[in-house]
Amino acid sequence: MNSIQAAAATGPGRPRAAAALRRWVADETWVKRLLTARRWMSRAYFEARYLLPDPWRLATSVYEHRRFQASLDMLAARRYGRALEVGCGEGIFTALLLGRCDHIVALDFSRLAVRRARRRLAGAPGVEVRSLDVRGADPGGVYDLVFCAELFYYMSRREFEEVAARMIRWVAPGGDLCLVHGTSVHDAAPRADGAGAIGEMSARVIHDRFCRAPDLAVIRDRRLPRYRLTLLRRQEAPRG
């Protein structure tokens, strides 16, 4: 068992009723688009998904394991003091990220996901799991690394722009922002007016917006067939 598989190992089984629920609210269906159309609805949607542990099969998917490794490779050999993981889910990737960071604050708005992440990471030094919805609250402080994967699909364009502006401020001067979003389903061509209705957010829209931010410099930008990874660095504060 490699390090990614070990970090992903989970105990609870998958009851038949929960498996049926997973199929009903599966990604890429009109049900998902409907259930994430409003903020309170997206919270309910994710709580429904997390009724079944590991709803996206992060523990068993070869694709996810490769994406985890590619995400770590984007960080190269740099070690970070304080890191923020936005949308940590059940803490599977958090356990891997700990090897690159002295301290991690891991956030998610799903109570079930946070509960499982805390259980998974119990006893691990240097990790704090918080229940927080970044659409309405800030984690406080600045971080040497902000890591965000598969998050912005479930926001309206207005929510995305507001959270993106605040997220840049969470990165310490000289710190890194790492983004990972899938392109196989969500990267549909943008509308002519540049706006994106709920359900139309894409890796292109998300990553390009951060790449245009004046306070960020693009360090690496990998556009793979199924996902895009971008590492950006916040400019050092000018010396005066």
At residue 8, does pLDDT exceed 60? no
Q: How far apart are CA 25 and CA 34, in angstroms?
A: 10
Question: In which band, very low, low, confident or very high, does the pLDDT at 25 lie, cut at 50, 70 and 90?
Answer: very low
| CA-wise closest residue to 223 among 178, 181, 168 | 181
Low-confidence winner among 60-64, 73-77, 152-156 (lowest mean pLDDT): 152-156
Structure-derived torsion over alpha carbons of residues 16, 59, 106, 225, reported in degrees to the nearest 10? -110
To 10 degrees, what angle do helices 39-49 and 111-120 make?
50
Q: How far apart are CA 168 and CA 220, in angstroms?
A: 17
Query: At which residue do the structure tokens 């984007």 appear?
Result: 74
Q: How far is CA 10 from the centre of its chain?
A: 20
Q: How far apart are CA 210 and CA 216, in angstroms?
A: 7
Confidence at residue 237, expressed as pLDDT on a 0 to 100 scale = 67
Q: Can you say whether residue 91 is alpha, beta or left, with left for phi > 0 and alpha for psi between -120 and 50 degrees? A: left
At residue 194, does pLDDT exceed 50? no
Confidence at residue 114, expressed as pLDDT on a 0 to 100 scale = 98
The set of residues, in sequence order, having a beta carbon less than 8 Å from that of 54 and lying 6+ positions away, is: 8, 10, 60, 90, 92
CATH architecture, range 62-234: 3-Layer(aba) Sandwich (3.40)
Confidence at residue 41, expressed as pLDDT on a 0 to 100 scale = 75
pTM: 0.81
Low-confidence winner among 56-60, 188-192, 211-215, 227-231 (lowest mean pLDDT): 188-192
Question: Which residues make up the CATH 3.40.50.150 domain(s) of the chain?
Answer: 62-234
At residue 72, does pLDDT exceed 70? yes
Instruction: Answer for the pair 147, 85: CB distance below 8 angstroms, yes or no.
Output: yes
Structure-derived torsion over alpha carbons of residues 180, 181, 183, 184, reported in degrees to the nearest 10? 110
Q: How far apart are CA 68 and CA 97, in angstroms?
A: 9
Q: Mean pLDDT of all residues in the chain?
A: 83
Confidence at residue 45, expressed as pLDDT on a 0 to 100 scale = 83
Position with higher pLDDT, 46 vs 13: 46
> What percentage of residues in the chain have a pLDDT greater than 70?
75
> What percentage of residues in the chain have a pLDDT greater than 90?
60
Instruction: Answer for the pair 182, 150: CB distance below 8 angstroms, yes or no.
Output: yes
Confidence at residue 238, expressed as pLDDT on a 0 to 100 scale = 56
Q: What is the DSSP string of 52-82?
A: SSSTT-TTT-HHHHHHHHHHHHHTTT--EEE
Q: How far apart are CA 55 and CA 128, in angstroms?
A: 22
Low-confidence winner among 77-81, 136-140, 152-156, 218-222 (lowest mean pLDDT): 152-156
The token duo for 95 is 């356990």
Query: At which residue do the structure tokens 């709920």 appear?
Result: 198
Question: In which band, very low, low, confident or very high, does the pLDDT at 196 lie, cut at 50, 70 and 90?
Answer: very low
